[in-house]
Structure 1
Amino acid sequence: MGFDLIARRSSLLRAIGLAAVALLFTLTAADAERRTALVLGNSQYQHAPALANPVRDAKAMAESLKGLGFDVVSGFDLTKLQTQTTIAQFAKQVRGADIALFFYAGHGLQVSGSNYLLPIDAALEDETSLDFEAVPVDFVLRQMSRETSIRLIFLDACRDNPLAEVLAKTAGVRGAKSGLAEISIENGGAGTLVAFATSPNQVAYDGSGKHSPFTSALLAHIGETNVSITEAMNRVTADVFKATASKQRPWSNVSLTTEVVLHKVDLNSPLIVGEAGVPGPQGDSDTRNATANPSSSANDAQLALNVLRQKIPKLASDDPIFFDVPIDFGDPEIDGKSIAELIKGEPRFSPVEGLDNSVWQGKHCDGCHEWNETRLCDQAKNFAANDVSVLRLQHPLGTRFKVALAKWAQGGCK
């Protein structure tokens, strides 16, 4: 494909973006839902070796959930007291929520079938330590079960935990293990999903990349358009199983009585787009009155744009972007590579939806697009100028590559 085709595709993408703005005005069930999440991640343990990924995992999950409409209460590298304070804040906010979600990354253990999360100041020197230093998972689940309809729990807390061995040997506590135990699900509301990074009583990998295998897969699938949470977990399981060479298999316990879709879009809804790229009047008098009021219409359009911008993925680092300097994208597939390096490699996704794999797989990006630094800068400037219509959409090298290009252009394509 030549550069002219890229320009034509960019115009098409802008048009698609305008349609996406209008689509926001079609209410779905998700728009009316109240969603509240608690996200915790602990890495810097004071009495055990630090873990590389949990805080990064939790921060990335918090951002992803905000983009899916959740009010997020979060905490990173918290002591026991700080953890209790954060859970108390969550308990106040979550009451009556349509969807209550809990994500934890860090050390956890089970003792005689009960699961505990470990704050960073946990030492576990004797049997009483559990009561005063650890946080029972059941305690968190009770807080998110008050008058809530749907409960989603994700525990990336099965990493190898030396404190479990210390507790078992020094304190003589029977049944102290690193892996977590199966959690029984109580009836209530529309049900519960509990997802573990690995099977009960097994140990999960922290991972050598930017995120653990479980969190990487969860981030990739939890917000997929019109994909149910149960199907998303099937995809997560497949990804983790493959990434760990069949050594780690996530496990879920599900009692949902309704389909849960966190990113729901009604593709069959009628859509009328006005000249400004927002819906024109269609049908009821309230809509016509809102359109007749320029101030109201402008506010609605700006709100729609802001919502769309929240769906644009963020880079893992705020550092300036340079053409030939490695970039921390926040995508393990391309992290640590520069723009110059990536455009000489192979595409990860089809450059045009539906294009036969034989046309693009095995090709090199710079040859296909006739990319050089100058032409790529022109394309990057288009991304920066049309962020809403372009940056949310897939790119042959991934969406975050496109976000990096826009940032590179904003810095003068240096």
Structure 2
Amino acid sequence: MSLLQNLSYEDYQQALTFSKEKCEIIAELANLKITLDDTNKPGEKLIKYLYRRGYSAAQYKQFLSNSQQVKTIVTYYKPQSKIAILIANSSYNDLSKLATPSVDCDSLAASLKNLGFIVLTLKNTLSSELQNILVKMVDVIPEDSYCFIFYAGHGCELCNTKCMLCIDCPTENIEMKHCVTENFVLKEVARCKPDLCIFIMDMCRMNLDRCSNPKMFEALANIEDYTIHSNLLVVYSTQSSAYEVLQIECSTTIDANVTYELKTGDTDKILPGSSQYVNALCTRLGDDLDISNLLDKVHGDVEKSFRKQRPIKVQCGVAKRSLYDPVKGNVAAVLAKVKDETKEFKNAVIF
């Protein structure tokens, strides 16, 4: 008996709801040569082609069952390249030392490399070094690429300007030369006209005291301007202070919030992705979701964790993009340029 004669009405209606990707999987299992880009009802066209090839209802159901075992990876776009810049500041000269930034960046590096990213990690940099490297990196990133930027370390906020504090930052009389601002990063990245930029800051965002840090506030008049491009996602791991979940000796940051200082013998207690946000992020990176939905899932996991935080996501642009999206450009050529531009920096490691 033919497929259409034996297929129940419920099964046929279910087929009409199938996505193009699911229909393509079933067609491949049935060895069908079929184009589904020309229809808004791929399931209907699939059933007709299966019927014409003489497949029975039982065979169709077997194809359907087998398709459940196939992991689908949706491609939303094909960028020229995918670059990740992971920044870890932990060994501060004057501020409390942090336990997890370096470990977290290593964990993220491994995960992003598996997704086809060229990964550059920068550890314990001075402000001038970090700015220099970022400028050089943007110079070699092709237009129409994906940029993933992650920072872990001490940070601050003043008048809505977020600042990443580099390892030469003092406890008082902080100046802009000790920081790299969010504005600077976004201004530089915009130069390479990326198709997607994800910028995650896993840091405390304390409000600096104006009296103790007058030069910082004086410099606000000259803060960098930046252009908001399409498909930009900026993430703050928490509303006010970041946590490092480790059972090791406590210390305090410059705003007296509790953090954790790395002491001799503590390294055995650190696991990959041991900060709350990065642990949730690395767990979710394997999910086949567009990046906006993936970050929403990560933030939901963080909010439900035992030490509750409320991450913030700022999104500009609505086009769906995925970290799984394949690259169409020359990866080897981009990698060679990245290596050449960063070879003079001893704290830079390429994965």
1:142 aligned partner: 187
Kindly state the Cα deviation for residue 95 of structure 1 after the two structures are TM-superposed: 4.3
Equivalent in the alignment of 2:120:
73
CA distance in 1, matches of 2:142, 2:78: 18
Inter-partner Cα distance in structure 2 for 1:41 and 1:35: 20
Change (3 A) 1:175 1:235: farther
CA distance 1:43–1:174, shift in 2 (3 Å): closer
Output the amino acid matched with 1:263. Y
Equivalent of 1:221, from 284, 287, 291? 284
Q: 2-side partners of 1:33 and 1:84: how far apart?
A: 24
In structure 1, which of residues 152, 160, 166 is the aligned counterpart of residue 198 of structure 2? 152
1:205 maps onto 2:243 in alignment: yes
8 Å CA contact 1:94–1:144 kept in 2: the answer is: no
Q: Residue 111 of structure 1: CA displacement?
A: 1.6
1:235 to 285, 297, 310: 297
Please tell me the residue identity of whatever aligns with 1:62: A
Q: Deviations over 1:255-282 (max 9, x none)?
A: 22211111259xxxxxxxxxxxxxxxxx
Q: Is the 8 A contact 2:78 2:325 kept in 1?
A: no
Deviation at 1:92, TM superposition (A): 1.5
1:185 Cα deviation after fit: 8.8
| Aligned CA distance change for structure 1 residues 85 and 205 (closer, same or farther; 3 Å) | same
Task: Tell me the secondary structure at the aligned position of residue 151 of structure 2.
Answer: strand
Aligned mate of 2:83, from 36, 42, 53? 36
Corresponding residue for residue 315 of structure 2: 254
Larger relative strand fraction: 2
Contact 2:232 2:317 in 1 (8 A): yes
What are the equivalent positions in structure 2 for 1:2-81 lying under 5 Å apart?
A: 28=75, 33-81=80-128
Closer, same or farther in 2 for the Cα pair 1:185/1:133, shift >3 Å? closer
Change (3 A) 1:133 1:196: same
Match of 2:33 in 1: none
Q: TM-score if structure 1 supplies the norm length?
A: 0.49
Q: What SS is found at the alignment partner of 1:85?
A: helix
C-alpha distance after superposition, 1:19-71 (max 9, x if no partner): 99xx99x9956565411221101111111110110111112212222221122
Separation (CA, whole Å) in 1 of partners of 2:198 and 2:148: 5
* CA RMSD between the two structures: 3.2
Q: Is the 8 A contact 1:124 1:133 kept in 2?
A: no
- Aligned partners of 1:218 and 1:27: how far apart in 2? 20
Structure-2 separation of matches of 1:133 and 1:88 = 17
Deviation, 1:213, is 0.5
Question: For residues 79 and 45 of structure 1, what CA distance do their matches in structure 2 show?
Answer: 10
Q: Check conservation: 1:206, 1:212, Cα contact below 8 A.
A: yes
TM (normalized to structure 2)? Answer: 0.57
**Which residues of structure 2 form unaligned runs of 5+?**
1-65, 219-224, 247-269, 327-351
Shift of 1:230: 1.4
Per-residue deviation, 1:175: 8.1
C-alpha distance 27-253 of structure 1, shift in aligned 2 (>3 A)? closer
Structure 1, gaps ≥5 residues long: 1-15, 177-183, 266-414
The residue type paired with residue 205 of structure 1 is: Y
**Number of residue pairs aligned between Structure 1 and Structure 2:** 227
Taking the aligned partners of 2:141 and 2:99, their CA distance within structure 1 comes to 30
SS at match of 2:175: helix
Task: Identify if the C-alpha distance between structure 1 residues 95 and 145 changes in structure 2 by more than 3 Å, giving closer, same or farther.
Answer: farther
Structure 1 residue 194 and structure 2 residue 257: aligned? no
Structure with bigger RCO (C-alpha 8 Å, 6+ apart): 2
Report the AA paired with residue 242 of structure 2: A
SS state of the match for residue 144, structure 1? helix
- Matched residues in 2 for 1:35 and 1:101: separation? 8
The one-letter code matched in structure 2 to 1:153 is F
Contact 2:176 2:216 in 1 (8 A): no
Could you tell me how far apart the structure 1 residues matched to 2:200 and 2:279 are?
13
Could you say if the C-alpha distance between residues 86 and 244 of structure 1 is closer, same or farther in structure 2, counting changes exceeding 3 Å?
farther
Asked if the contact 1:100–1:151 (Cα under 8 Å) also holds between the matched residues in 2, the reply is yes
Amino acid of the structure 1 residue aligned with 2:295 = M
- Residue identity in the other structure for 2:322: V
Using the TM superposition, give the Cα deviation of residue 172 of structure 1 relative to its aligned residue in structure 2, in angstroms.
4.9
| Counterpart contact for 1:222–1:229, Cα < 8 Å | no
Could you tell me how far 1:173 is from its partner in structure 2?
7.1
* Pairwise CA distance, 1:113: 1.6
